[in-house]
Structure 1
Amino acid sequence: MAESPSPAARRKQLIVGLIVGLLVGVGVSLWTGFWLWLAAGAVVGAVAGLLMRPPAE
């Protein structure tokens, strides 16, 4: 089985997921006019960043 990713790679994956979630949240918030989509996008991005396996270095 493959090695587990380094803590730095996991941290980077979480940050990338959070940024993508925030961008999607801002877009949906502007599109719908409902500001809570920003928070929902941040949460979904953080969870996706935590669950996804970082790419091999």
Structure 2
Amino acid sequence: MASEPMSPARRRQLIVGLVIGAIVGVGISLWTGFWLWLAAGLAVGLATGALMKPPSE
């Protein structure tokens, strides 16, 4: 089962989702004092980046 290579737009979308998730996770972690919010933020960012429709080129 061969998978297609990931397009640059899709790769950028996943990276942006991870970065936004990391920023939100760190912010909530600092606010609440509970460090596992960072992992939750990364998971939500990755899921959002994976589920969003890629931008049209």
Q: TM-score, normalised by structure 1?
A: 0.85
The aligned residue for residue 48 of structure 1 is: 48
| Aligned residue pairs, count | 52
Matched, 1:7 2:17: no
Gaps of 5+ in 2: 1-5
The aligned residue for residue 32 of structure 1 is: 32
TM-aligned CA deviation for residue 8 of structure 1: 1.1
The aligned residue for residue 3 of structure 2 is: none
Gaps of 5+ in 1: 1-5
RMSD value over aligned CA atoms? 1.1
Structure 1 residue runs of 4+, over 3 Å off?
Answer: none
TM-aligned CA deviation for residue 33 of structure 1: 0.3
* Alpha-carbon distance in 2 for matches of 1:34, 1:24: 13
Q: TM-score, normalised by structure 2?
A: 0.85
